Copies of this chain bind each other. A is one copy, B any other.
Amino acid sequence: MKPNRKSPTMSDVARKAGVSAMTVSRALKADSVISPETRSAILEAAEELGYIFHAAASNLRSQRTDFVAVTIPSINNANFADTVAGLSEILSGRNMQTLLGYTNYDVDVEEQLIEQLLRRNPQAIVVTGGHHTARARRLLENARIPVVETWDVPDQPIDHYIGFSNADAVRAMVDHFVAVGYRRIAFIGGDAGRDTRGSDRRRGFLTAMRSHGHDDPCLIAAGAPPISMREGADAMARLLHDHPDTDAVICVSDLSAFGALTECHRRGIVVPDQIAIGGFGNYEIAGMCVPTLTTIDAHAREIGLRTGSLILDLLDGATGTMAIDVKPGLIIRRSSLRETSPRDSQ
């Protein structure tokens, strides 16, 4: 096992290097005034002792942690990973870190998480989505740090937001489907209530369909978010069974859309000739599968980059509340473009 004596502190390094603890502290900061010889002697002593800087003590005294807390729904989602990557890239330019937490698409988990994260005294907090529990709202409102909501346009922003309307994004896709001739369009998404972005997308679907004169479009509930490929496939199977006249389906994400696509393959149903499919997120798979998937690019990385810049500006003393809309892009691919017109092929 391991040696059991106490970890060396700055005092130990100071003693070994023949200086004071304060000088050791300066030697370990990049931008402090100290003679180069003293510094290198100290760094050498530190390395020999196996000294590890004690972040908690530093944070306590200096009242800064140099990190930004971030909540995202899942550890395993390329969209949110891209947002975090963009954010981290900007923050690392100022030697700041991101402290990540996962809500599992659940606002109650989010509430717990926000409290956990605030206990570690971040310099700012970024949350995914604009729907929160009452207590989570209060925690964020009372936090004495910048708060940024992302991936949404909140009804009542807490502080700043950088995102887009999930409902409007889906409306754009419905408009496209209608424009190219689809009429009996269904929606595959999560069960109502839990994933707020998914619910917003379903709501946008309904509104758009009604504005096109389709009052009661078919909605398939595929389970609790996130909707997996398998759940997308199962939902497609149900849709084909219960509503065989459907000529297009919009899925809450590319992953469920891909699952739906494979179900069509298995049944020998040709996409898009017999049924069109649309997804959401522009995941890599949407551009790779056969046929390629029509989808919506939320500009995940851009959201992260802008969030990072905003936070740096705010920490530099910028004032005012920022409300930034990052307009998603509709990406039209093969899964919604058939050669013949819909009417002809039915």
Kindly state the separation between the CA atoms of A97 and B101 in the bound complex, as whole angstroms.
Answer: 10
Known A54-B121, A56-B56: A3·B285 in contact at CB below 8 Å: no
Question: Is there a chain B Cβ closer than 8 Å to A233's Cβ?
Answer: yes
* Min distance, Cβ A66 to any Cβ of chain B, angstroms: 11
Interface residues of A in 186-230 (CB under 8 A from B): 228-230
Contact check, A2 vs B75: say whether CB atoms are below 8 A apart: no
Contact with B along A226-261 (1 / 0, CB 8 A): 001110010000000000000000000000001100
Residue of B whose beta carbon sits closest to that of A320: B1
Question: Is there a chain B Cβ closer than 8 Å to A178's Cβ?
Answer: no
* Min distance, Cβ A251 to any Cβ of chain B, angstroms: 14
Question: Is there a chain B Cβ closer than 8 Å to A123's Cβ?
Answer: no
Of B100, B144, B259, which is within 8 A of A3 by CB? Answer: B144
Contact check, A144 vs B60: say whether CB atoms are below 8 A apart: no
Contact check, A55 vs B144: say whether CB atoms are below 8 A apart: no
The residues of B that contact A230 with a CB separation of less than 8 Å are 284, 287-288
Contact check, A120 vs B2: say whether CB atoms are below 8 A apart: no
Of B57, B138, B289, which is within 8 A of A60 by CB? Answer: B57
The residues of B that contact A59 with a CB separation of less than 8 Å are 56
* Min distance, Cβ A16 to any Cβ of chain B, angstroms: 16
Contact check, B1 vs A319: say whether CB atoms are below 8 A apart: yes
Known A142-B50, A290-B266: A65·B76 in contact at CB below 8 Å: no
Known A284-B229, A290-B266: A144·B4 in contact at CB below 8 Å: yes
Question: Is there a chain B Cβ closer than 8 Å to A7's Cβ?
Answer: yes
Among A85, A115, A139, A159, find the residue whose CB has the most chain B CB atoms closer than 10 A.
A85
Question: Is there a chain B Cβ closer than 8 Å to A145's Cβ?
Answer: yes
Kindly state the separation between the CA atoms of A74 and B122 in the bound complex, as whole angstroms.
Answer: 23
Contact check, A288 vs B229: say whether CB atoms are below 8 A apart: yes
Residue of B whose beta carbon sits closest to that of A263: B288
Q: How many copies does the complex hold?
A: 2
Kindly state the separation between the CA atoms of A258 and B286 in the bound complex, as whole angstroms.
Answer: 12
Question: Is there a chain B Cβ closer than 8 Å to A20's Cβ?
Answer: no
Contact check, A121 vs B55: say whether CB atoms are below 8 A apart: yes
Residue of B whose beta carbon sits closest to that of A290: B265
Question: Is there a chain B Cβ closer than 8 Å to A323's Cβ?
Answer: no
Kindly state the separation between the CA atoms of A144 and B55 in the bound complex, as whole angstroms.
Answer: 16
Contact check, A56 vs B65: say whether CB atoms are below 8 A apart: yes
Q: Sort A-B residue pairs by CB-CB distance and give the 3 closest, nearest first.
A: A76-B81, A50-B142, A56-B59
Question: Beyond A228-B284, A230-B287: 18 further Cβ-contacts under 8 Å?
Answer: A7-B144, A50-B139, A52-B118, A55-B56, A55-B119, A56-B56, A56-B120, A56-B121, A57-B60, A75-B84, A75-B100, A76-B76, A99-B99, A229-B284, A230-B284, A230-B288, A262-B289, A262-B290
Q: Which residues of A contact B (CB under 8 A)?
A: 1-4, 7, 50, 52-57, 59-60, 65, 74-78, 81, 84-85, 97, 99-100, 115-116, 118-121, 138-139, 142-145, 159, 228-230, 233, 258-259, 262, 265-266, 284-285, 287-290, 319, 321
25 sampled A-B residue pairs with Cβ under 8 A: A2-B145, A4-B144, A7-B144, A50-B138, A50-B139, A52-B115, A54-B60, A54-B119, A55-B56, A55-B119, A55-B121, A56-B60, A56-B120, A57-B60, A60-B60, A74-B81, A75-B81, A76-B78, A76-B81, A99-B99, A229-B285, A229-B288, A230-B287, A230-B288, A262-B290
